[in-house]
Amino acid sequence: RERTRTAATAVAHANIALIKYWGKADEGLIIPHTSSLSLTLDDLHTTTSVVFDEALDTDEAALDGRRLAGRALARVRVMLDLVRARAGLDGVSARVRSRNTVPTAAGLASSASGLAALAGAAAAAAGLDLDDRDLSRLARRGSGSAARSVFGGLALWHAGHDDASSYAEPVSSPLRLAIVVIVIDAGPKPVSSREAMRRTVATSPDYPAWVRRSAGDLAEALDAVRTGDLPRLGDVAEANAFGMHGTMLSATPPVRYLTPASLAALRTVWRARRDGLPVWATMDAGPNVKAITSAADAEAVARRLRADLAGVVPETNVIVAHAGPGIQVR
């Protein structure tokens, strides 16, 4: 019989949640406690190629030229195993090559773009013909937020209650949004989002209240998205994010991603808003601050933040990101 050797490449973009995913109802399947809403970004993306090759003895993977081992490799293999099981490729090893324009594991959504690109490339290389919804469900198994990176622009991830019902889909809006990323620290975070979520769900007395309010936050955000009401969207996104960080701080032991530099950056965002710029803050599992604004105001916001941060947190890098495309597979 012919030797199996099939290859594919996928490009997936990072996304930043406006209404957050924080906490799993099912850790194995990655079913979240809450639905979430995000914006996929243009600049920050991951390109991944996968080759299934019978000549390989074992799975191998490299990220930005560095060979992966241990946990990072195990994470890749979880996805490869899911794809192999579906495609009947048990026993066929893969070579994975990945390039990131997103700093890895720094709360800049590298796991979203990375695991979405891996899911897309692996599925295509294995000959699986998945529609976007099924690809979203597959990407979710690698990293929850990756379910949303299958789609461009705004994406809504329905929490669902099982593997079939937990997937993302695109949401249309008259809003032209942008995210101005204040990169405070591009290094890896001290606590993984996986561990931090587990701790929050298990120990924070505030977590159930955040889950309850999240449904209302999402409904309000979706309404603001449909009607093109940026101030309403910004207000609810900011409140939802700091509610999430509140649940982390009240976990035992506390999970603290905010640093003094994060607080200084938040202050510049809030000052810019006080002075009339349409800008709201959000934060994820890391110290970096993301400013939500309109595409039309993004450059003005970035200029203002750069100027204000220069004297306070001189090392910061401010990146303007606009809405980006969904996954591309070839």
- Tell me, what amino acid is at 99? R
| Contact assessment for residue 304 and residue 277, using Cβ atoms and an 8 Å cutoff | yes
SS3 313: coil
220 in contact with ligand PMV (CB under 6 A): no
Phi first, then psi, for residue 83 (nearest 5°) are: -70, -45
CB of 93 or CB of 247, closer to ligand PMV: 247
CB of 17 or CB of 122, closer to ligand PMV: 17
- Which residues ranging from 93 to 152 are in contact with ligand PMV (CB under 6 A)? 111, 143-145
Cα dihedral 231, 325, 290, 194 in deg (nearest 10): 120
- Give min distance, CB of 99 to ligand PMV, in A: 19
- Which residues ranging from 7 to 26 are in contact with ligand PMV (CB under 6 A)? 17, 20-22
SS3 8: strand
- Give min distance, CB of 284 to ligand PMV, in A: 4
- Give min distance, CB of 35 to ligand PMV, in A: 10
CB of 140 or CB of 304, closer to ligand PMV: 140
CB of 284 or CB of 297, closer to ligand PMV: 284
| Contact assessment for residue 107 and residue 145, using Cβ atoms and an 8 Å cutoff | no
SS3 328: strand
204 in contact with ligand PMV (CB under 6 A): no
- Give min distance, CB of 16 to ligand PMV, in A: 7
Nearest partner of 32 among 148, 172, 152, 170, judged by Cα: 148
Point out which residues pair with 32 in neighbouring strands: 24
CB atoms within 10 A of CB 106: 20
**Rounded CA separation 50/127 (Å):** 12
CB atoms within 10 A of CB 89: 22
Per-position x/- string for 36-75, each x denoting binding to ligand PMV as judged by CB under 6 A, each - no binding: x---------------------------------------
Number of residues this chain uses to bind ligand PMV (CB under 6 A): 13
Among residues 59, 217, 284, 297, the one that binds ligand PMV under rule CB under 6 A: 284
Among residues 285, 292, 313, 323, the one that binds ligand PMV under rule CB under 6 A: 285
CB of 36 or CB of 46, closer to ligand PMV: 36
Taking each helix axis from N to C end, the angle separating 230-249 and 207-227, rounded to the nearest 10 degrees, works out to 170
Residues that bind ligand PMV (CB under 6 A): 17, 20-22, 36, 111, 143-145, 193-194, 284-285
